[in-house]
C-alpha cells in the first residue's frame, strides 16, 4: 500500500496538478496492481500483487504489509524469459514467516500483464494461507497441503490500479462489490472538436457519463449507479489537453456502500502514487459520514499517437 499515497480524507479530496508529472514516460509501463485485504487467525493487513509486462516477458511483484502498514516482505519475480515460471520463496521477518508459491508455467495471457487462466499464486503467513489467486486451486492446495498450511478465509479484493493505452478508446474491467458482476468499462475521448472536446464513459456498452467542454471541465466527478450501488467517478484529463503529446489521464471509480453495509473494517484508505494526480473534488463531511468505500479502481490512461 505504500505505492498509494493518500488522496482521500475524511472530509474531502485535495486537488493536485498532474501536468508536471505527465512527462514521466517511465510510469507508462504495462502493469496492473491489485490490493487484497487479508484477515486470518491473529493476522490482518494487505497484500499487493503487481503484474508487469516487459518487452522481454512477464514479471511479478508481491508485497505484504501488516495492519499497521509495516512491510513484512517484498518478492520480485523476474521476467519469465530469464527465470522459472514455477517456484517458492520463504522469508522470515521477526516472528512472521511468509511463504509465496507460484506456478505460471501454463499461464495464458491476453493483451495485458495479468494471467487469464492456467496459474496459481498463494501467499501464507505463519503457516496460514492468506491469499490464493488463479484457477489452479486444486494444484495449489496440493502444494499447500504438502507443508500442512490450513486454508483460511480468502482475502478481499479492495483496489486495483491499471495502466491502459489507446488513442480515442480505452478499455478495462471491474467488479464494484465483493462477489459482484464483472463489468466492461470503456472510455471514449474525442479530440477532434477543438472547442467542445467530449469524454464518454460506458459500463457494459451503456453510456453512464458524458462530459463536454473539457477545456473547462478537465477535472470533475459524478456519481453513477452500477448494480444498484453508487459509484463515484472522478476524472482528471488535464495532461491530455494541456500536457505532452503522450500524457496520461487519471480515472477513479470508487463504489460507496451504505453505512449498514460497512466496509470500514475491511477497506483501506486507498491511495494513489505520488507522481500521479488525484482528480479533485471537495466532498462534504455529511457525504463522507453517510457512506463507506468498497472497491476502488484507478485507471491511468496513456495516449498513443
Q: pLDDT (tens digit, 0 to 9) for every residue of the chain, 305 residues total?
A: 544 433 333 322 332 333 334 334 444 578 899 999 988 777 788 999 999 988 777 888 999 988 777 888 888 887 766 567 888 888 887 778 888 989 888 889 888 889 999 999 998 888 888 888 988 887 877 777 545 455 556 788 889 999 999 888 999 988 887 667 889 999 998 777 565 678 999 999 999 999 988 888 899 999 999 888 899 999 999 988 887 666 789 999 998 766 544 434 444 444 443 333 344 433 333 333 334 567 899 999 998 76
**174 and 141, same structural domain?**
no
Residue 153 confidence (pLDDT): 60
Residue 213 CA to chain centroid, in angstroms?
29
**Listed residue (292, 218, 222) closest to 250, CA to CA:** 218
Please indicate, yes or no, whether residues 95 and 167 belong to a single structural domain of this protein.
Answer: no
DSSP type of residue 286 = H
In a domain, 65, yes or no: yes
Residue 194 included in any domain? yes
CA distance 305 to 77: 32
Considering the domain boundaries, does residue 245 fall inside one? yes
DSSP helix/strand/coil, 282: coil
Task: Give the total number of structural domains in the chain.
Answer: 2
- In whole angstroms, give the CA distance from residue 190 to residue 132: 41
Range of the domain at 187: 161-303
- Asked if the structure places residue 239 within a domain, the reply is yes
- Does residue 47 sit in the same domain as residue 71? yes
CA distance 115 to 121: 11
Q: Is there a single domain that holds both residue 127 and residue 171? A: no
**299 and 189 within one domain:** yes
Q: Kindly state whether residues 119 and 245 are assigned to the same domain.
A: no
Domain end position, chosen among 100, 116, 151: 151
- Report CA-CA distances (Å) from 84 to 36, 57, 88: 25, 12, 10
User: Does some domain include residue 21?
Assistant: no
Q: What is the Cα gyration radius of the chain?
A: 20
Looking at the fold, whether 107 and 179 belong to one and the same domain comes out as no
Same domain? 49 vs 172? no
* Same domain membership, residue 298 and residue 205: yes
Query: Residue 3 falls within a domain, yes or no?
Result: no
Of the three residues 118, 151, 184, the one that is the final residue of a domain is 151
Amino acid at each position: 500500500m505504500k505505492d498509494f499515497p493518500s488522496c482521500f480524507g475524511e472530509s474531502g479530496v485535495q486537488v493536485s496538478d498532474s501536468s508536471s508529472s505527465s512527462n514521466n514516460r517511465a510510469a507508462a509501463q504495462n502493469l496492473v496492481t491489485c490490493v487484497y485485504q487479508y484477515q486470518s487467525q491473529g493476522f490482518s493487513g494487505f497484500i499487493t500483487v503487481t503484474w508487469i509486462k516487459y518487452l522481454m516477458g512477464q514479471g511479478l511483484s508481491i508485497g505484504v504489509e501488516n495492519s499497521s502498514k509495516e512491510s513484512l516482505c517484498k518478492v520480485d519475480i523476474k521476467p519469465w524469459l530469464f527465470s522459472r515460471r514455477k517456484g517458492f520463496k520463504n522469508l522470515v521477518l521477526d516472528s512472521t514467516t511468509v511463504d509465496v508459491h507460484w506456478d505460471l508455467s501454463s499461464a495464458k495471457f491476453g493483451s495485458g500483464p495479468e494471467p487469464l487462466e492456467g496459474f496459481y499464486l498463494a501467499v501464507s503467513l505463519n503457516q496460514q494461507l492468506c491469499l490464493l489467486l488463479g484457477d489452479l486451486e486444486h494444484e495449489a492446495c496440493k502444494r499447500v497441503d504438502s507443508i500442512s498450511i490450513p486454508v483460511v478465509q480468502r482475502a478481499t479484493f479492495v483496489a486495483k490500479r491499471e495502466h491502459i493505452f489507446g488513442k480515442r478508446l480505452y478499455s478495462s474491467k471491474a467488479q464494484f462489490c465483493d462477489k459482484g458482476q464483472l463489468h466492461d468499462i470503456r472510455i471514449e475521448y474525442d479530440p477532434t472538436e477543438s472547442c467542445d472536446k467530449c469524454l464518454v464513459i460506458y459500463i457494459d456498452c451503456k453510456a453512464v457519463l458524458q462530459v463536454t467542454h473539457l477545456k473547462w471541465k478537465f477535472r470533475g466527478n459524478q456519481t453513477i449507479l452500477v448494480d444498484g450501488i453508487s459509484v463515484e467517478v472522478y476524472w482528471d484529463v488535464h495532461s491530455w489537453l494541456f500536457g505532452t503529446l503522450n500524457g496520461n489521464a487519471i480515472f477513479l471509480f470508487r463504489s460507496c456502500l451504505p453505512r449498514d453495509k460497512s466496509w470500514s473494517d475491511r477497506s483501506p484508505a486507498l491511495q494513489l502514487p505520488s507522481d500521479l494526480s488525484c482528480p479533485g473534488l471537495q466532498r462534504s463531511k455529511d457525504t463522507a459520514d453517510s457512506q463507506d468505500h468498497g472497491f476502488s479502481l484507478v485507471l491511468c490512461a496513456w495516449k498513443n499517437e
